[in-house]
Amino acid sequence: MVSQTVASTVIQSVTARAVLDSRGNPTVETDVLLADGSLGRAAVPSGASTGAREAVELRDGDPGRWHGKGVDRAVGHVSGEIASVVVGRDADDQAGLDAALAALDGTADKSRLGANALLGVSLAAAKAAAGAHRLPLHRYLGGVDARLLPLPMMNIVNGGAHADNPLDFQEFMIAPVGAGTFAEAVRMGSEVFHTLRRDLRAAGHATGVGDEGGFAPALRTAREALDFVVRAIERTGYRPGEDIGLVMDPASSEFFRDGVYVYAGEGVRRTPSEHAAHLAELIDAYPVVSVEDPMAEDDLDGWRELTARVGDRCQLTGDDVFCTDEKLLREGIRTGVGNSVLVKVNQIGTLTEALATVATAHRAGWTVVMSHRSGETEDTTIADLAVATGCGQIKTGSLSRSDRTAKYNQLIRIEEELGESARYAGGAVLRRP
């Protein structure tokens, strides 16, 4: 990150407003204006299936407005208490700014002022500082070595908390592991997406999309979903596993009840060992290269069992179990819980803390997936963060809905801007045999 202290990067004003996210709910958008006129603007995403240890998203709770989901209090905190502390600080000192934000809140989970209030300021300040230095955000944060374009995980079938269908698993994704460039990966993904639409329609399924832009057909089992996806890959002219790998996100915490995994769509209950065995069978039967949240956040024994069983041949990515929290990640690394971490900036509340989690994972030899949330905006910050950190993977939804495609489009621009120095991560970034 650029560390030069320049008078022009002093924060002159901080303002906030409520804007709509992709689900039609309000969220916080923040503007940070610097002394030289540079403006940074950031909109904060919102999750649906959330980890119990996530930083707190402050909502008003007034049922008479926005069905209780208003963010007027968070907006007020930004324009009032937070602004009074932030104005006059140097936006170049990201770590100092974020430490001041956390100290001002004074709680472990950022529940007093709200992680949505703090994060908007944190990200907007970084974007303003990048503008002051006439640098794109990925270059400002990552330096001259920021040139790795991530492998995208493209959500094409939705279930669980992201759709109104019987499918227990939340997401089925494709990852163009064999593409030569990021732009080519987007083309491949889009082609498969449209083939799948035709296949689902031909089979009598509705082709409306879920929160993250994937289709939400009335399927009941993971095998049904995987079979449709594999056929779509083949019918598009690609080789499953060689050109395009499969990724699943069961979001297992969502159906873990009293020590048992309750598959409502299938009408069965599985013990942790049975659930792990079921996942291992799917990994062996299909070209699955990565599974996110395969076990529930409270089922650490199950996590360790599955990691020992398939961790040498499949990426196992922790979302709810780590919540982008460096302390939780360190414990997971120490105890053998997974081998990869999902990074969502709003789970932790400041940019500095999210970057620390990435650094800890990399030092341990773990992989990192930069991620969106189900309630997104047109803000493309995570696209730049994926390149800035060199994490090599991004999860940002389907090949439909502009809140998702905005991130793909930004990465296409970054790749073009980098020119011959750009590199595409491809399948090499994954934990594979």
Active-site residues, by number, are: 212, 344
Query: Does the annotation flag 112 for ligand binding?
Result: no
Query: Does the annotation flag 319 for ligand binding?
Result: yes
166: its two tokens: 């019987």
329 Cβ contact list (under 8 Å, min separation 6): 318, 322, 341, 357, 360, 361
CB 211 within 8 A of CB 48: yes
Give the amino acid at 135.
Answer: L
Which of 209, 214, 234 is closest to 153 using CA atoms?
214
Using the structure block, give the residue that is written with the tokens 């081998």: 339
146 Cβ contact list (under 8 Å, min separation 6): 138, 139, 387, 388, 390
> What distance lies between CA 89 and its chain's CA centroid?
29
CB 249 within 8 A of CB 212: no
354 Cβ contact list (under 8 Å, min separation 6): 324, 343, 344, 345, 348, 385
Query: Does the annotation flag 249 for ligand binding?
Result: yes
CA distance 233 to 243: 9
Query: Does the annotation flag 327 for ligand binding?
Result: no
In 236-314, where does DSSP find H-type helix? Answer: 272-285, 300-310
| CA distance readout (Å), 21 to 18, 46, 47, 235, 361 | 10, 8, 11, 35, 30
Query: Does the annotation flag 374 for ligand binding?
Result: yes
| CA distance readout (Å), 205 to 165, 198, 208, 215, 270 | 11, 10, 9, 10, 28
Query: Does the annotation flag 371 for ligand binding?
Result: yes
Query: Does the annotation flag 292 for ligand binding?
Result: yes
Describe the crossing of helices 94-105 and 351-363 by its angle, rounded to 10 degrees.
Answer: 110
Query: Does the annotation flag 110 for ligand binding?
Result: no
Cite the annotated binding site for (2R)-2-phosphoglycerate by residue number. Answer: 170, 344, 373-374, 395
Cite the annotated binding site by residue number. Answer: 162, 170-171, 249, 292, 319, 344, 371-374, 395
Cite the annotated binding site for substrate by residue number. Answer: 162, 171, 292, 319, 371-374, 395
